[in-house]
A and B are shown apart, each in its own frame.
Chain A
């Protein structure tokens, strides 16, 4: 059976964490959750590949973690709040991670926010978004 199409899938540059995405992301998110313990953060940073082998995630999910491809992690079922635990483990802020997702430098992102943020104009549906902006550059 095909998965139902939802209206929110038309939001550009956004992956809504719904039940289907949650199902796919379960092992990936369990990995992120493990980073709430200091000893696990250390073990992960010491040997990322071996640490990740404990989790039954797909190769694509594992690859996205190793390459810190934040948008791919979202697309493959990661929750942004859980991704943040990986950013924090890397000693980065939420803001750094958000900037990476937009393809801006952190300073450009901060400047955009200080200037009032991103306007919803042009970002309400995929059809009106000029840039494709739909994933990580590989």
Chain B
């Protein structure tokens, strides 16, 4: 049977993608951040996932304003890279897993999560920068990816509690797939950041540290953080952290923290990163 073996939390920004694509990862500005992912790249190479469920948000690239799905699952065989306004990132096309995605959709909808089914979709930096940070710059990505796009652009995003419960439903869906697969789940976005208005640049390291701590210590506290609290304490765009809660809940009750890294800044963002092993013996 398929199992979710581990979860990865990871921020995303267009600037991280640009630093990779323009060969700037060794500059004084970027080196400390990219060094923080060296251990993660080794870890994931050894852990060798077959499939990654990528919980991320689109930044008005796949979805315009005609339709704004709250949760959307990418069910295509492949996902081309979006041109976000400066040309598409020169990274490999993202390969999907249509059969497993279809199974997940069917399972979670009957579990009362009415996800939108997407059969054609481009993916943006929200999905591709965590791929670059974890897998480097390969000719082809070494995993198949099932994108789950969460609306965090138009207020309100789904609540933390809703995201947390979706994570539980995803775990059940994956475990009812009859193929031996090593599945990982990524929660992307965050951590503290605000990229709009006179308040841009807001960072709250203490909020971020407590969030990272409580992913293993007290995830139940995290699921009840209100949108206003994210926005007020950690910046308007910190509300993206609800996506990490999908990841966390999909790992089951207990987790082992394997690695964490935190760095300010990547452009306007507090970059947080964590690797959590699922306890599949519970």
Contact = CB atoms under 8 A, between A and B. Distances in A.
Interface of A: 7-8, 11-19, 22, 26, 29-30, 32-33, 35-38, 41, 71, 74, 79-82, 84-89, 93-95, 98-99, 101-103, 109, 112-114, 116-120, 123-125, 131, 133-134
B15 A36 contact: no
Contacts of A131: 198
B83 A133 contact: no
Contacts of B205: 116
A23 B205 CA distance: 35
A102 B14 contact: no
A74 B198 CA distance: 11
Contacts of A79: 60, 153-154
16 contacts: A12-B198, A13-B197, A16-B155, A19-B155, A38-B87, A74-B196, A79-B60, A93-B18, A95-B15, A98-B196, A98-B200, A103-B198, A118-B201, A118-B202, A120-B204, A133-B198
A60 B154 CA distance: 22
A43 to B, nearest CB: 14
B65 A33 contact: yes
Nearest to A80: B196
Nearest to B196: A80
B236 interface: yes
Nearest to A41: B85
Contacts of A81: 59-60, 153
Main secondary structure of the interface of B (DSSP, over half): loop
A7 B195 contact: no
A98 B267 CA distance: 9
B86 A30 contact: no
A93 B267 contact: yes
Contact of B265 (A29, A86, A89, A117): A117
Contact of A8 (B155, B195, B203): B155
Interface string B154-197: 11100000000000000000000000000000000000101111
Interface residues of B, number: 46
Contacts of B235: 120
B202 A22 contact: no
Contact of B85 (A36, A71, A80, A101): A36
B82 interface: yes
B228 interface: yes
Nearest to A36: B83
Interface string B245-267: 00000000000000000001101
Contacts, number: 156
Main secondary structure of the interface of A (DSSP, over half): helix
Most buried by A among B15, B65, B227: B65
B228 A8 contact: yes
Given A71-B198, A113-B264, A118-B201, A17 B155 contact: yes
Nearest to A109: B201
A116 B60 contact: no
Contacts of B236: 11, 14, 16
B270 interface: yes
B234 interface: yes
B85 to A, nearest CB: 4
A117 B61 contact: no
Contact of A113 (B14, B84, B199, B268): B268
Given A88-B86, A102-B198, A113 B64 contact: no
Contacts of B207: 120
B231 interface: yes
A31 to B, nearest CB: 11
B202 A120 contact: yes
A47 B227 CA distance: 41
A94 B201 contact: no
A11 B85 contact: no
A94 B153 contact: no
